[in-house]
Amino acid sequence: MSGEATWALQKAVFDALTGSADLMAMVSGVYDHVPADTAFPYVTIGETTVADWSSKTFDGQEHSLTLHVWSRARGRKETKEIFGLVYAALNGAPLSVAGQQLVDLRFDFAQTLLDTDGLTFHGVQRYRAVTRVLS
């Protein structure tokens, strides 16, 4: 399995998120690796699971992409507002994925947790994407 599709998808998701003026007005940034002393709130691109979605006539992959929201606000309101902005940027969006046709990009689930430090709200959103290799 090639990692090209999953990396191209991550880049497209990053571009979509950082291209959202509403989201970027609310968070300090969108990160894969988070720099030290990054200001809250921020979004991180997390784990990806990839499965084969090929048929006899094309090569494709199904991706499960996890995004994380980190907030130090009092209560979950900020985390959930950021959830909404991420959803608006990604759910059903016709993203341009290099070398791939993005067949579908859909919200899967979200969960909020209070982190082990007792201070940080951790929001988890997972999206399902299907890509097909352009021949």
Partner 1 sequence: MTMTVSFTPLSANRLTAVDGQADAALRQVVSRALDSVAADARANVAGLRDAGRPGPSALEASIRIDPAADGLSGSVLAGGRDAPYAAFVEFGTRRAAAQPFLGPALAANATRICRDIAVAVDKGLGAAS
Question: Residues interacting with partner 1, by CB under 8 A?
Answer: 46-47, 49, 51, 62, 64, 66, 68, 70, 111, 113, 115-117, 120, 122, 124, 126
Give least dist CB 5 to partner 1, A.
Answer: 16
Give least dist CB 51 to partner 1, A.
Answer: 6
Tokens (6 digits) for 75: 């209560």
Give the residue with the Cβ less far from partner 1, 15 or 130.
130
Exposure on the CB side of residue 12, measured as CA atoms within 13 A? 22
Give least dist CB 117 to partner 1, A.
Answer: 6
C-beta of residue 44 within 8 angstroms of C-beta of residue 70: yes
Burial 15-27 (b: 16+ CB within 10 A, else e): ebbeebeebeebb
Give the residue with the Cβ less far from partner 1, 11 or 122.
122
